[in-house]
């Protein structure tokens, strides 16, 4: 018997290294990045319907009203792309339960697209080959292929070429959320302004970072975390400097901006340490904060009804 609904989840991502090169003719920037999927999840539930629709639910602090509730939503576009690819004619009712900050630099939209691909694939019993799903994911957005793969991985191209990386152990992060998102194109635009003054080399993955991850050496990792978009995001949102500095004062091992921001990440040595740093940040008015452990797996079916 066919399922009447399928629920899938997909994780937020952080970039342990985000190296950005000079803008390409197509408007994208070449990246050399190390992604890690962390345990903040969005869930996408799909069920057959006569017309396409989407509803968005979740924690009030997550700026849910910024998520489009129409056909421009990336989860709808993902399911429609798969339908077109497979020749499926049915429409879907799509429900998104958000646990990932909206416009926070943690690829929440990309997670929704990946979860929608996996959920619709299961509902329609397509068993689409992995490489084909990865191809559709890349069409939808630069970070969507990684949301399918999860774990820790090296990303190149515009971020869509993903190769899993060898990593030992678990990593604990405090994430300081911001009530107001930052636009990714705006941050890249500011990056272009800054880099025109400085000049740019092709981005590379630092060896020290990969060594630190293979050895689970947190001190070395703390010194190797880097985000080329941080200066641009800080120019657009100077108050984030204070949040980053406050995390270090609260004994975080390192602080950096997540992707294009405005979420800030703090590396901690354990769950207890993360709770302590998170508590300190919240008490000094830099909240809301959340704690996330990585790496976690990519998009997957959670439940079928
Ligand atoms: O691929 P995606 O749709 O997620 O990208 C959103 C925007 O982020 C792009 O329109 C572009 O402005 C910027 N971007 C970029 N270089 C990348 C990835 C994204 O300039 N490698």
Q: What is the residue-level pLDDT of the chain in tens, covering all 305 positions?
A: 789 999 999 999 999 999 999 999 999 999 999 999 999 999 999 999 999 999 999 987 777 888 999 999 999 999 999 999 999 999 999 999 999 988 888 999 999 999 999 999 999 999 999 999 999 999 999 999 999 999 999 999 999 999 999 999 999 999 999 878 899 999 999 999 999 877 788 899 999 999 999 999 999 999 999 999 999 999 999 999 999 999 999 999 999 999 999 999 999 999 999 999 999 999 999 978 999 999 999 999 999 99
Tell me which of 23, 158, 162, 203 to substitute to probe ligand 1's pocket, judged by most ligand atoms within 8 Å of the beta carbon: 158
How far is residue 289 from each of residues 12, 106, 203, 293, measured CA to CA in Å?
15, 14, 31, 14
Angle at 156 between CA 150 and CA 157, to 5 degrees: 120
Residue whose C-alpha is closest to residue 194's, from 162, 228, 223, 171: 228
Contact yes or no for 46/183 (Cβ under 8 A): no
Q: Write down the residue that tokens 């921001």 correspond to.
A: 261
Check whether domain 171-294 has CATH 3.40.50.720, yes or no = no
What is the distance in A from the centroid of ligand 1 to the CA of 21?
13
Do you know the residue count of the chain?
305
* CB of 25 closer than 6 angstroms to any ligand 1 atom: no
Q: Which helix (H) or strand (E) is 37 found in, with range? A: strand 31-49
Report how far residue 45's alpha carbon sits from residue 229's, in angstroms, rounded to the nearest whole number.
Answer: 33
3-state class of 10 per DSSP?
strand
What's the CATH code, domain 6-165? Answer: 3.30.230.10
Catalytic center residues: 13, 143
Rounded to two decimals, what is the model's pTM?
0.96
Supply the pLDDT for residue 65: 83
Q: Where in the chain is the domain with CATH 3.30.230.10?
A: 6-165
CA contacts within 13 A on the Cβ side of 220: 12
Given this model, what pLDDT does residue 287 score?
Answer: 79
Residues of the chain with CATH 3.30.70.890: 171-294
Reduced 3-state DSSP string for 67-94: CCCCCCCHHHHHHHHHHHHHCCCCEEEE
91-98 vs 53-58, strand pairing mode: parallel
Sign of CA dihedral 177, 237, 112, 266: negative
* Per-residue model confidence (pLDDT) at position 268: 98
Q: Closest Cα to atom 19, ligand 1: which residue? A: 28
The span from the CA of 14 to the CA of 17, in Å, is 9
Q: Is 159 in the pocket of ligand 1 (CB under 6 A)?
A: yes
């Amino acid at each position: 018997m066919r399922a009447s609904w399928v629920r899938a989840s997909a994780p937020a991502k952080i970039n342990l290294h985000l190296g950005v090169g000079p803008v390409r003719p197509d408007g994208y920037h070449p990246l050399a990045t190390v992604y890690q999927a962390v345990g903040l999840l969005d869930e996408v539930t799909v069920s057959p319907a006569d017309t396409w629709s989407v509803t968005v639910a979740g924690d009030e602090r997550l700026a849910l009203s910024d998520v489009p509730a129409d056909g421009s939503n990336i989860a709808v576009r993902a399911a429609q792309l798969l339908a077109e690819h497979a020749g499926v004619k049915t429409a879907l009712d799509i429900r998104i339960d958000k646990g990932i900050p909206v416009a926070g630099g943690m690829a929440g939209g990309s997670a929704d697209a990946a979860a929608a691909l996996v959920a619709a694939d299961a509902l329609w019993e397509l068993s689409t080959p992995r490489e084909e799903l990865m191809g559709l994911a890349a069409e939808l957005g630069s970070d969507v292929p990684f949301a399918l793969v999860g774990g820790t991985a090296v990303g190149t191209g515009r971020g869509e070429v993903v190769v899993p990386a060898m990593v030992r152990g678990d990593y604990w992060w405090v994430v300081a959320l911001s009530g107001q998102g930052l636009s990714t194109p705006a941050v890249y635009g500011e990056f272009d302004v800054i880099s025109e003054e400085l000049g740019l080399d092709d981005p590379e993955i630092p060896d020290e970072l990969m060594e630190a991850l293979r050895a689970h050496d947190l001190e070395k990792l703390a010194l190797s975390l880097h985000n080329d978009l941080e200066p641009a995001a800080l120019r657009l949102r100077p108050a984030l400097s204070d949040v980053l500095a406050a995390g270090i004062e609260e004994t975080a091992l390192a602080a950096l901006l997540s992707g294009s921001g405005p979420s800030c990440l703090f590396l901690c040595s354990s769950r207890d340490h993360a709770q302590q740093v998170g508590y300190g940040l919240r008490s000094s008015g830099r909240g809301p904060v959340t704690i996330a452990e990585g790496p976690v797996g990519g998009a997957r079916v959670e439940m079928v009804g």
